[in-house]
Amino acid sequence: MSPQKVVVVGAGIVGLASAAVLVARGCSVTVVDREGPAAGASQGNAGGIAWTDVRPLASPGIMGQAIKWMLDPLGPLSIRPAYALKALPWFLRFARASSPAQVQKSTTALAALNDRAWDSWQTVWKLTGTHNQVQRKGCLQVFDTKSSFENARARWAEQRSYGIEVRELTGDECREVEPELSNRVVGGAFVPAWSQVDDPKKLCLSIYDWLKTQGVEFVVGDAKSAVPGGRGPEVHLSDERVLTADKVVIACGAWSKKLAVQLGDKVPLDTERGYNITIPEPGLKLSTFVMLSGHGFAVSHLEHGLRVGGAVEFAGLDLPPNWKRVDAMLSKAKIYFPQLQSDTGKRWMGFRPSLPDSLPVIGKSSASPDIVYGFGHAHHGLTEAAVTAEMLSALMFDEVPVVDATPFSAARFK
Ligand SMILES: Cc1cc2nc3c(=O)[nH]c(=O)nc-3n(C[C@H](O)[C@H](O)[C@H](O)COP(=O)(O)OP(=O)(O)OC[C@H]3O[C@@H](n4cnc5c(N)ncnc54)[C@H](O)[C@@H]3O)c2cc1C
């Protein structure tokens, strides 16, 4: 039987998708967020439904590459000096997670999760009437050196081994796909099944609107703890309000650690900050999602402009943004797209919630089977929100989830 009442903490894409799946099951759902819907990473990401990705970030050789990247403070990966010591434990775990054995385990888990991601989204898009907000545009990965192009072949072979189509292209063939690419591009690959939403914030707000029509209650409040309680779990808010429920979902993105630790799960969650700029009149039009491989960022068209951004910065949740990172990405993007105009544009920074083994936490808390987690999706939170929602809903009802949840348990960090 469905539990009567579920409180979802966090109205990012994971919390909203979870609320939608739970409503469809007949639950009475309350969503609590300290700001409102799409206040976090879900509002400004690149919009990719990257279900064709199978490889975790932690992989053999990545530590050497990471050290090279870090030599450039505005490069694909940087650590703010003021945060370096705090980031150290995460990086030690990341190094451990880059062993061939762990990478194999993470790849198998990630491939299974992403393999189901598209079908799960189809269900949620149809349910919420948002299916017209996504398009199968394909992803064009481009390279500016022969060596980086050749090194990517192993990754494409791995994707193909999971049934994903990857077409290798010459530089000229890349320019046939995107005629405004410069001669700097020496080769690339096209992944036709990669998809993109028109605007990730609009998707969140549309789901939010639909949830309201279904009677979902939205509460603005800061959850300071979730506790098992005598008669079922309770969510305690900073202003002393208490929300009672039969089940609770913790989906606070990069801010989930405190609540999980209180529940006995010392998850090594940190944030990989990402930056971008959205340019309403960029002076060029792209038909695909273009990944500037080797530079760690992408250029893609959304409904309201061209979004240029990505990359990773470790600086925690509190330090101010470093907007020079946006300028650096723009300069690089102009080498690939000389026509790119950036006189106008809105800059943004978001907090990716990241675990060192590149897998999210999806599963029951140690303190109570009635309090479940859905956070830590890092670079794939939009992609994996709907499958996470389906898995959490199954776990709550003691059903077998569509994807084996074992590799995603918080207990893996014990
Ligand atoms: C630059 C960039 C590009 C990206 N591109 C992609 C992409 O193309 N494809 C993709 O799949 N993913 C992408 N991502 C990753 C994706 O955006 C995230 O993984 C995803 O948005 C995380 O969603 P979430 O719901 O877990 O967290 P969030 O969206 O961060 O939501 C968490 C919510 O919890 C609330 N909250 C936090 N603490 C509390 C509390 N104590 N009480 C109440 N409420 C609380 C916050 O206000 C927030 O609304 C990108 C990220 C960045 C930064």
b/e string for 4-30 if b means 16 or more Cβ within 10 A? ebbbbbbbbbbbbbbbbbbbeeebbbb
Report CA(203)–ligand 1 centroid distance (Å). Answer: 13
Q: Is 252 in the pocket of ligand 1 (CB under 6 A)?
A: yes
> What tens digit of pLDDT does each residue of 192-239 get?
999 999 999 999 999 999 999 999 999 999 999 999 988 999 999 999
Residue 44: inside a domain: yes
Check: CB of residue 104 under 8 Å from CB of residue 357. Answer: no
Residue 313: inside a domain: no
Written as one letter, the residue type at 320 is: P
Band (159; pLDDT cuts 50, 70, 90): very high
Q: Is 51 in the pocket of ligand 1 (CB under 6 A)?
A: no
Q: Is 375 in the pocket of ligand 1 (CB under 6 A)?
A: yes
Rounded to an integer, what distance in angstroms lies between the CA atom of residue 285 and that of residue 341? 11
> What tens digit of pLDDT does each residue of 350-375 get?
999 999 999 999 999 999 999 999 99
> What tens digit of pLDDT does each residue of 99-133 get?
999 999 999 999 999 999 999 999 999 999 999 99
Q: Tell me the average pLDDT of the chain.
A: 95
Residue 314: inside a domain: no
Residue 401: inside a domain: yes
Residues present in the chain in total: 414
CATH number at residue 384: 3.50.50.60
Residue 262: inside a domain: yes
Most informative mutation of 18, 21, 42 for ligand 1 (most atoms within 8 A of CB): 42
Band (58; pLDDT cuts 50, 70, 90): confident
pLDDT at 64: 81
Q: Is 382 in the pocket of ligand 1 (CB under 6 A)?
A: yes
Report CA(254)–ligand 1 centroid distance (Å). Answer: 7
b/e string for 99-137 if b means 16 or more Cβ within 10 A? eeebbebbbebbbbbbbbbbebbebbbebbebeebbeeb
Residue 43 is classified by DSSP as G
Nearest ligand 1 atom to alpha carbon 32? 43
pLDDT at 164: 97
* pLDDT above 70 for 175: yes
pLDDT at 3: 57
Residue 137: inside a domain: no
Q: Is 40 in the pocket of ligand 1 (CB under 6 A)?
A: yes
What is the pTM for the complete model shown?
A: 0.97
Q: Is 405 in the pocket of ligand 1 (CB under 6 A)?
A: no
pLDDT at 363: 98
Most informative mutation of 8, 205, 207, 255 for ligand 1 (most atoms within 8 A of CB): 255
Q: Considering its fold, how many domains does the chain have in total?
A: 1
Q: Domain range spanning residue 413?
A: 1-53+102-124+198-266+358-414
Q: Is 312 in the pocket of ligand 1 (CB under 6 A)?
A: no
Residue 308: inside a domain: no
Residue 219: inside a domain: yes
